[in-house]
Structure formats: C-alpha cells, structure tokens
Chain A
Amino acid sequence: NAGVTQTPKFRVLKTGQSMTLLCAQDMNHEYMYWYRQDPGMGLRLIHYSVGEGTTAKGEVPDGYNVSRLKKQNFLLGLESAAPSQTSVYFCASSQGTSLWETQYFGPGTRLLVL
C-alpha cells in the first residue's frame, strides 16, 4: 500500500514554462487536495476535489489548474510558472469531508522557478 505518491520530487523551471504535478492515491479515497507550503505561511489550499470529475478552488488558486479524470489521480498544472510559485507542493487525500476524516499526505514536490 503506497498511500499517496507525488511525481516529480523536485523540479526547476524557468519563468513562463509549464509543468504538471501528478498525485496518485491507492486508498480509494473520494477527496483529494493540493496545498503549497511556504516559510512563515503554513499550508494553504490551492484546489481540491470531492470526487472523480469534480474540482473546486481553495484559498490560493490563481495561476494553477487541476483535473481529476480518474478517482486515484489528481493533477496540478502550472501554465506559465512565476517565481512566486516557488514552493513545496503537497497532495493529500481523505475518505470523506474534513469534518470527520483526517487527510493523508504525500511526500511533497519541491519546485523552484527561476
């Protein structure tokens, strides 16, 4: 049982380049989330999904897009990377709503935008 996995682990981009971060979970969870973690800012929710084919905006969605075509996968896209998007990105999943369920996190993707 791998839990939540993220690809890639580390990436360097130039300003204006695009990339996709992949998150996969093997726990058959309905909910999936993308966060970014920055020093002094804590974790902030970018986008989330409550089921296959659904997505919703979180706290800091600008500059990012997401897709959930398969239940086990949640993709985070950066169409035109900016230095402000340098961060550590975490994916998480949960069986249900955070009112009752905890979230399971992946190991993170470190992104540096030059």
Chain B
Amino acid sequence: KQEVTQIPAALSVPEGENLVLNCSFTDSAIYNLQWFRQDPGKGLTSLLLIQSSQREQTSGRLNASLDKSSGRSTLYIAASQPGDSATYLCAVPTGTASKLTFGTGTRLQVTL
C-alpha cells in the first residue's frame, strides 16, 4: 500500500529565507507527483505536477524535484514571503488511475 509522508508537520521561517519541504513515498512505481497548497479554510490549489520522466518542475519561486529511486520529492521555495504561509501537500496516483494518495501536509508560516 502506498504511503506518503511529509516531514516536518509544521515549519516557521522568517521572511526572505529559502526553504525546502519534503515528501517521501513508499512505492517508487509512480506516474507523477503533485504538490498542492491549502490556505486555512479553503480548498487545495495545484502548484506543480512532475511526471515520472522529469526530475524537476519550476513555477516562479517554486521548484519541485523528484527522485523516484529514493522515493523522495522536495519543494523548494525561494525568498519566502508571508503570503506563502499555508499548508503544502504532496500526492501521488495509486491503485486505479483516479485515486490520489495524499500526505498529511506541512504547515508553513513565514513571519515578518
């Protein structure tokens, strides 16, 4: 059974700092890995989708990497801002093609 883990569960950093969020998965036979952002009381917003054939995907200040063999993905946020404060979740397709297995997320707070 695929298990997705995100450590740490919470992180607080000062504004301007570069930071890395981690995601690990137990079954390396994945088609892609997806990163989402969730603001308090809101739904999830897709940030990046990395196909298994890719090693990196970038969007603005965000860079996601994928290492299938080690079962890990990282989300790098450059020059963090208070507006980046949110919970970040990673997910991988498992079982039937319609099922995403989510990690429990990392709650990020960027302080002034």
- The chain A residues found within 8 Å of chain B, CB to CB, are 4, 31, 33, 40-43, 45, 48, 50, 56, 58-59, 90, 92, 97-100, 102-108
Residues of B within 8 A of A98 (CB): 31-32, 34, 93, 97-100
1/0 per residue, CB under 8 A from A, across B68-112: the answer is: 000000000000000000000101010011111011110000000
Separation of A16 and B43 alpha carbons in the complex (Å): 28
Separation of A89 and B89 alpha carbons in the complex (Å): 16
Q: Do B46 and A102 touch across chains, with their CB atoms under 8 A apart?
A: yes
Smallest Cβ distance from B84 to chain A, in angstroms?
19
Q: Do B49 and A108 touch across chains, with their CB atoms under 8 A apart?
A: no
Q: Using CB atoms, name the residue of chain A closest to B97.
A: A97
Known: A104-B46, A105-B44, A106-B43. A99 touches B100 (CB 8 A): no
Interface size on B (CB < 8 Å)?
25
Question: B42 contacts the other chain (Cβ, under 8 Å)?
Answer: yes
Q: Do B98 and A56 touch across chains, with their CB atoms under 8 A apart?
A: yes
Separation of A41 and B36 alpha carbons in the complex (Å): 16
Known: A31-B98, A42-B103, A45-B100. A103 touches B46 (CB 8 A): yes
Smallest Cβ distance from B1 to chain A, in angstroms?
10
Question: B45 contacts the other chain (Cβ, under 8 Å)?
Answer: yes
Residues of A within 8 A of B49 (CB): 102
